[in-house]
A and B are shown apart, each in its own frame.
Chain A
Amino acid sequence: MRSFPGQDLVQKFSGALFWRLVPRGRNASSSKPDIKICIQCPGSVQNLSEVALYCKQTSDLMLHARCCLNRKGTILGLDLQNCSLKDPGPYFPQARTAIIIDLQANSLQGDLANTFRGFTQLQTLILPQDVNCPGGINAWKTITSYINNQTCQEQRNLCNSTGDPEMCPENGSCAPDGPGRLQCVCAEGFHGYKCMRQGSFSLLMFFGILGSTTLSISTLLWGTQRRKAKAS
């Protein structure tokens, strides 16, 4: 990812400019972006599903096709039950912010270990009966087996339980990366490639001090030394 001094300023300006140019309607549904995962499967959120319950009990949430969205358009719930899916599909990572996902009544094949990469907010996952919870029993507080589904609840943060103090390179720290997964991100205060950099260098102050010092010393020396020098 490119970064240069002043990048955040540029981003802020371009962001502000963008929202001025794009008209924002009062009606939420007219400005919703076209989220492919929500419309991939025909139909809408089933009335009695867990996703519907979750969506109704929290205010400020709205249903859109198969998704439960908040004001900003972030997916918080996804209901893909009975969709004849063999795998969640290429657009599934769009739902990585989801808190509740329902995948029951699909004939899912293959290992789901890599499908839930980045799903750090997921607290309730309903899978078909024959599919195991990603990460196994270590990754979830409660796994319940029902007649037609398996419910995994309350994702565990495995950083605390794996007791290895050196699990990340220097200046990195452990962070969850989805159910049963861990990743190394930069520790607090560190950034950049390999987290080598810390803090931010104030270019303005440095060049201000250097410039004024150079100017004053040059003027002083020119006045005392070179003013009477013959042209050379």
Chain B
Amino acid sequence: MAWPNIFQRGALLSQFSHHHVVVFLLTFFSYSLLHASRKTFSNVKVSISKQWTPSAFNKSIELPVEIWSSNHLFPSAEEATLFLGTLDTIFLFSYAVGLFISGIVGDRLNLRWVLSFGMCSSALVVFVFGTLTEWLHFYNKGLYCSLWIVNGLLQSTGWPCVVAVMGNWFGKAGRGVVFGLWSACASVGNILGACLASSVLQYGYEYAFLVTAAVQFAGGIIIFFGLLVSPEEIGLPGIEAEENFEDDSHRPLISGAENEDEAEPNYSIQEDKTITQVKAISFYQACCLPGVIAYSLAYACLKLVNYSFFFWLPFYLSNNFGWKEAEADKLSIWYDVGGIIGGTLQGFISDVLQKRAPVLALSLLLAVGSLVGYSRSPNDKSINALLMAVTGFFIGGPSNMISSAISADLGRQELIQGSTEALATVTGIVDGTGSIGAAVGQILPV
């Protein structure tokens, strides 16, 4: 057992300036906001499906048409639900394609511009999708599909950019803990989205979209004015210069071989780099790295389950137990709470054990049991919340670990020393494969 460096090195904290704190918080909250606006759609599924269908009330009393049945986009609630699932699938496929592209292309452009452009334009698309169509009473299936495809492509710029920026600022030392904490940003975003949506749902679902889109747009502006992509931007030494001072390399936990101190590849992605040799790694080479395919496939299966919960939990709670939509939204937060605790705790344990795979395997085995248990949950809010948190712990935990710490490990193996693009490309591959798995999972029941 080896305690993480963070306990042995008191000097660790002193190397983090206020810039590091700001970068951590900015990247954390920018991805949280992206995820929050994604979550809004699943939080308002019940209301949207009601808005698109005429009333199916079967009593003899007179129902004035303009209040109860003027909207005939879908003849029944079942058809509307099918279409909602189709929208999820479309989003995930375009998100996966966008991730593969962003992983390759994103290195050539300024990360700050890409991230703020992605956030602001995605916010505008979400606004048109949810709020403008309702204000103008213009409901059209083709419009919804195309807007959601564009949204998937724009949102995919977020993850590779934030991982790359974090990689520029935080090097080897303490990476496990820092990334473990940081990877909770997706779950925090889910919680934020659920809170925002449930608080304004009573005014109409269009305001849930408006609020999350507006906050995301504001976040994009703040990113533009406040984010420093790498230490070199203000003249500070990059992580490779700092890590040359360290004498004990905190090796990536995937590779088992002993290493001498190696020259750190620099994650900074400015075009006028002259300090290190920038060697591109091709897509095929990245796929052939040991562990990438295995973890990508595992992540595909895992993300399938995770995103089924992500997209349908409030809808399931509302339909199965008859709870009001705003309550179901608030309760679905517990799944993400379990995910945050799981990701941080399991990341810490795997740092201590110096092995990631056993922790993941055990967690996923226990996840099967917790899923079965959750499916038999009684109609009691406290018990359901507890089971939900446990399930989130065993599923969300490995999910957070694979997407952050393990991607960082894979992208930092000694086989590809000296290459800067490996991290973004590998992140793109792992997350892209995961998204494809999740997308396929959405259409499996159909």
Contacts and interface: CB of A to CB of B under 8 A. Distances in A.
A197 interface: yes
A213 B112 CA distance: 21
B270 interface: yes
Nearest to B19: A225
Given A225-B228, A230-B233, A206 B214 contact: yes
B68 to A, nearest CB: 6
A217 interface: yes
A201 B214 CA distance: 14
Contacts of B66: 1
A218 B204 contact: no
Interface string B35-76: 000000000000100110001010101111011101100000
Contact of B63 (A184, A193, A196, A217): A184
Contacts of B110: 232
B415 interface: no
A202 to B, nearest CB: 9
B164 interface: no
Interface in A180-223: 181-186, 192-201, 206-207, 210-211, 213-214, 217-219, 221-222
Given A198-B202, A206-B211, A226-B226, 7 more contacts: A164-B59, A169-B57, A184-B63, A196-B50, A201-B200, A232-B112, A232-B229
Interface stretch (B4-12, B215-223, B399-407): B215-223
A171 to B, nearest CB: 10
Interface SS, A side: mixed
Contacts of A4: 135-136
A29 B48 CA distance: 51
A165 to B, nearest CB: 12
A214 B116 CA distance: 14
B61 A167 contact: yes
Contacts of B284: none
Interface in A158-172: 164, 167-169, 172
B214 A210 contact: yes
A-B interface, 8 closest residue pairs, ranked by CB to CB distance from nearest: A221-B226, A201-B203, A214-B218, A218-B225, A183-B62, A222-B225, A197-B204, A198-B202
A217 B226 contact: yes
A152 interface: no
Interface string A23-56: 0000000000000000000000000000000000
B141 interface: no
Interface of A: 1-2, 4-5, 164, 167-169, 172, 174, 177, 181-186, 192-201, 206-207, 210-211, 213-214, 217-219, 221-222, 224-226, 228-230, 232
Contacts, number: 111
A232 B285 CA distance: 31
A211 B233 CA distance: 28
A134 to B, nearest CB: 14
A217 B218 CA distance: 10
Contacts of B59: 164, 167
Contact of A232 (B22, B57, B70, B270): B270
A205 B227 CA distance: 28
B61 A183 contact: yes
A168 B61 contact: yes
Nearest to B324: A170
10 contacts: A164-B59, A167-B59, A172-B68, A174-B61, A183-B61, A201-B200, A218-B221, A225-B227, A229-B234, A232-B270
B376 interface: no
B235 interface: yes
Given A206-B214, A229-B234, A184 B64 contact: yes
